[in-house]
A and B are shown apart, each in its own frame.
Chain A
Amino acid sequence: MSAVIEPTTSWFLILSAVLFSVGTVGVMVRRNPLVMFMCIELMLNAVNLSFVTFARARADIGGQSAVFFVLVVAAAEVVVGLGIIVSIMRRRTGATADDLTVLKG
């Protein structure tokens, strides 16, 4: 019987890198502002995962408290961002990120 393979720190970090990159591609490709927002949440989650991984790897709880603050800031960011999206959509229904080039002036 072969030795049991245990997931190591690197596996978690690589998974976090994959999630972050998928989120980045989503922000670059999608045009619906709401979906772009979800992709940003995805990136935040990937970073949270690597924070927790480092907290575990280095046996330091500080990484986990960083995740706590990231969660709070993410909540605040979503609230403000969705408020902005709602007020934009109220003026021009079905606006995509491209339509907002009018902001260039």
Chain B
Amino acid sequence: MELFVFVAAALMAVVGSLGVVTRSNPVHAAMSLVLTLFGVAVLFVQQGAHFLAAVQIIVYAGAIVVLFLFVIMLLGVDRAENLRIEPLAGQRIVAGAVGAAMVGLLTAAVLTSESAVTVSGQGLNSTALDSPDANVKQLAESIFGDNVFAFEITSVLLLVAVVGTVILARRLPKQAEAAQ
């Protein structure tokens, strides 16, 4: 069962990620991104990160992708772009080779350090993070205890981002006159 869930979710995530890269229409790419996000959320649940799975769906699939779609529709760039043209000769081949090399290197790194990443006897069978309530409680203790300073700084970051975006997206009075 565990295996089936993993394979299904991994397939969702990989197919979705390939869709993001290969779809010519940005709207389809955004939809593929949703598929990937759901797959990753399933893998979060499988590993006992229930809260993060919920946040992943709400914040990523719910808010960030919708924001993407808003911008796509607002700018009217939802027509398919022609992917046949390759402006820089050989770029795709090189990019593909770099990507394949990256997968190979990272896989080799994971496989050679397999014993180091897993604490013996704990591994995936650890029950410490298993209960749903325990997950939220532990996460809350970690965020509001050990990382409370980082959490407070995060609020400043969000405020700066909001104010910065309002200033960026605002039409200056001069531009508004010129547009009329």
Residues of B within 8 A of A (CB-CB), count: 85
**B17 — which chain A residues lie within 8 A by C-beta?**
18-19, 22-23, 26, 42
Main secondary structure of the interface of B (DSSP, over half): helix
Query: CA separation between A53 and B44, bound complex, in Å?
Result: 8
Give the contacts of A29-86 with B (CB-CB under 8 A). Answer: 29-32, 34-35, 37-39, 41-42, 45, 48-49, 52-59, 61-62, 64-65, 67-69, 71-80, 82-86
A71 close to B13 (CB less than 8 A): no
Q: How many residues of A sit at the interface, in one of the four size bands?
A: 35 or more
Query: CA separation between A21 and B162, bound complex, in Å?
Result: 31
Decide if B47 is an interface residue (CB 8 Å cutoff): yes
CB distance from A78 to the nearest CB of B (A): 5
Query: CA separation between A18 and B107, bound complex, in Å?
Result: 9
A75 close to B36 (CB less than 8 A): no
What sequence of 0s and 1s flags, for each residue 126-152 of chain B, a beta carbon within 8 Å of any chain A beta carbon?
101100000100110111001100110
Decide if B157 is an interface residue (CB 8 Å cutoff): yes
Contact of A87 among B14, B44, B117, B169 (CB under 8 A): B169
Query: CA separation between A13 and B110, bound complex, in Å?
Result: 7
Query: CA separation between A75 and B110, bound complex, in Å?
Result: 29
User: 11 additional contacts, CB 8 Å, given A28-B94, A30-B21, A35-B20?
Assistant: A10-B111, A12-B6, A34-B26, A34-B68, A42-B33, A48-B56, A57-B122, A71-B56, A76-B161, A82-B71, A83-B165
Interface residues of chain B, those whose CB is within 8 Å of chain A, are 2-3, 6, 10, 13-14, 17-18, 20-21, 26, 29-30, 33, 36-37, 40, 43-44, 46-49, 51-52, 55-56, 59-60, 63-64, 67-68, 71-72, 74-77, 81, 87, 91-92, 94-96, 98-100, 102-103, 106-107, 110-111, 114, 117-119, 122-124, 126, 128-129, 135, 138-139, 141-143, 146-147, 150-151, 154, 157-158, 160-162, 164-165, 168-169
Instruction: List 19 A–B pairs whose Cβ atoms lie within 8 Å, in order of A's numbering.
Output: A6-B2, A15-B14, A17-B103, A19-B40, A25-B96, A26-B17, A28-B99, A29-B91, A34-B77, A35-B29, A38-B29, A56-B129, A57-B122, A59-B129, A68-B143, A71-B56, A73-B157, A80-B164, A98-B87
